[in-house]
Amino acid sequence: EINPDARAIAKQLDQERNSGHVRGPLHGIPILLKANIDTADRMQTTAGSLALVGTPPTMDSTVAAKLRAVGAVIMGKTNLSEWANFRSLFSSSGWSGIGGQSNNPYAIDRNPCGSSSGSGAAVSANFAAGALGTETDGSIVCPANTNGVVGIKPTVGLTSRAGVVPISHNQDTVGPHGRTVADAAVVLGAIASASPDPRDPATAVHRDKVFSDYTQFLDPNGLSGARIGIARSGVTGFSPKVDAVYEQAVEAMKNAGAVVIDPADIPDLSAINSSPEFFVLLFDFKKDLNAYLATRVGVPIQSLADAIRFNEAHADQELRYFGQEIFLLSQAIDVNDPATIQQYQQAVALDKQLGGAQGIDAVLEKYNLDAVVAPTDEPAWTTDLINGDHFIFGTSSPCAIAGYPIINVPMGTTYGVPLGISFMGTAYSEPTLIKVASGFEAATMARVEPQLLGKLPFDSGFCGGGSAAQSTAAAIKSSVPQHGMPDVRMARARRL
């Protein structure tokens, strides 16, 4: 969706600059927002769903307000995986009832991943200088990987989620896509909550670790002397093509002066991949979405239950390719049941322990690392609206469940489609990650501009490893035991 006021806003900002007034580092720069981020203007905020079409939000999201304050031109809203890919186990990333299917600018028949599909694809295709995405688990870094851009998934609480259609207050975060680490760092500084946002309690802690300018940490020699851990167990061996490019990236880091510790595996990765994350997200979604919907007026729904009924009533538009199994699982949870609440609290604590103290923090401390790296995801697969996504592997979950940051940087290509490497660190380690990520970018210059090909120049149907959602609806429902804990394997392959 194009902002109908974008030209007028840009003209006003040009006049301000000509008169000597510059609001900030993004003055006059076009920025796109994922369509689950509120703007109090003439644009819709829908999360891709027809159920949220109506009166626009009455208040800007905090991140949108911050962008306006530093002079950005909010040029429009980008398509996404509907409801940030938290509706169905059989979805196609980048599809929404409003926007249809987003495509990959490197090969239009291939998938842009999600759920920040349009944000990653638009920045890659030079539609804007930068874009905001959101991530619960993988939704900034996976589109960055498949669309060949930089994606910064910040520490939970570094950026405000106020006015953003939620999945989970435990894991949701807002972050930028940019074609370079520098571009993404500029946007990150613009949206970071250096002072607490009363609309988002997560922004009230560790203010001394949040900066308004992250470009100060850019360093083309950022790998020199940096201690980089090379994750291998559980993150390699899924794709020989990815592994080959990863090996080249490791050699490039060595050549750039990094102290490479190889291997430096993330502990308990198998436990992380079978963690109760999905249950936590289902529990949070029901409560957090209902709280968000209470802020919206003049739209068809006011609750998750309403959204389910809306989709059933408009199945020809909303359920034409896949269902709403995740909605049903979330709605089935009794968030007021004491036993379920206790189980939820234990699950949240276990997630943070597995991803944090026993996961990312453990490997960083064991080897005295500045960052640990891993391949981000597999190459872009051919979009398949019949069967849904073809995920093979992803490496975002440890940081997702801990609330820790990741920066994806392009590391190369295979058969013309991009691959990314993830730099992972502990909470609020964005300065260090930006330093080493910018050093890697300078050492490799691995990004290749997309050519907007209709398809790759060979018969390259993607032969993926299948999503974790190869079950019937009956099996999905039967996976919910007495207190609402579904089988985490049902959703492990989603990018949320």
Instruction: Choose the catalytic residue: 81, 117, 139, 275.
Output: 139
Distances (CA, A) of 458 to 107, 242, 244, 416: 11, 19, 20, 11
Question: Is 34 among the residues known to form the active site?
Answer: yes
- In the structure encoding, which two tokens stand for residue 464, read together? 């993926």
Instruction: Choose the catalytic residue: 34, 66, 77, 153.
Output: 34
- The string of DSSP letters for 213-265 reads --GGG--TTTTTT-EEEE--TTTSSS-HHHHHHHHHHHHHHHHTT-EEES--P
In the numeric block, the tokens 């669309």 are attached to 147
Helices marked H in 99-220 — which ranges?
Answer: 117-124, 141-147, 181-191
Helix axes 277-293 and 338-352, enclosed angle (nearest 10):
110
Terminal CA-to-CA distance of the chain, rounded, Å? 22
Instruction: Choose the catalytic residue: 49, 96, 102, 115.
Output: 115
In the numeric block, the tokens 């002066």 are attached to 257
Answer whether 394's CB lies under 8 Å from 376's CB.
Answer: yes
Cα–Cα nearest to 411, from 223, 176, 148:
148
Rounded Cα distance between 155 and 171, Å, is 9
Rounded Cα distance between 189 and 159, Å, is 9
Question: Is 115 among the residues known to form the active site?
Answer: yes
Question: Is 81 among the residues known to form the active site?
Answer: no
Give the residue numbers marked as catalytic: 34, 115, 139
